[in-house]
Amino acid sequence: MKYIIVDLEATCWENKDQKKINEVIEIGAVCINENKEIESEFNEFIKPVVNPELSKFCTELTSITQKNVDAAETFDKVIERFKSWININENFVLCSWGFYDQRQFIADCNLHKTDAAWLKKHISLKHQYAEIKKLNRPIGMAGALKMEKLYLEGTHHRGIDDAKNIAKIFLKNFKEWKI
């Protein structure tokens, strides 16, 4: 079994404009094996097609620049590399902090007319963490890191950095997750 700890960043706007479609602009992921070893990492920017210009809010939140996404390929090409990196024909589960990443992946797969069936193998570490720690409600990744006495490393709201931080929580509670 491979555990793919994934975090997405997507286009966003300060007023959460409901008329605008969010699109993935970064996939950050860490692959952990059954022996609790980090095997590899995946990190790529993606060029949005519906709203190709990043908002000032999005750039400030994520630190992802217009130059980063302009130099990137579109979702349909990057997602094929991501699926190949995972090797979706092997036994794996996608793990993210909440259900947002799975929903956003599905939305982008639909937008780009690519298969989304592989996204069924997913768990929300955020919700399981709340159960494991007997919390009244799920908490954010930064709060979970504090509870675990771990440090947030890198830039919060950057896919690869958040994936690495989530991986630390995942590894510390390795035997507790329900797959």
Q: Which residues are catalytic?
A: 9, 157
- Residue 127 host element (H or E): helix 125-132
Q: Which amino acid is at 13?
A: W
The CA-based diameter of the chain, rounded to the nearest angstrom, is 45
Other Cβ atoms less than 10 A from the Cβ of 105: the count is: 24
The bridge status of strand 2-10 relative to strand 38-47 is unpaired
The bridge status of strand 122-124 relative to strand 92-96 is parallel
**Residue 33 to residue 80: CA distance in whole angstroms:** 21
Backbone angles phi, psi at 163, to 5 degrees: -60, -40
Q: What is the CA radius of gyration of the chain?
A: 16
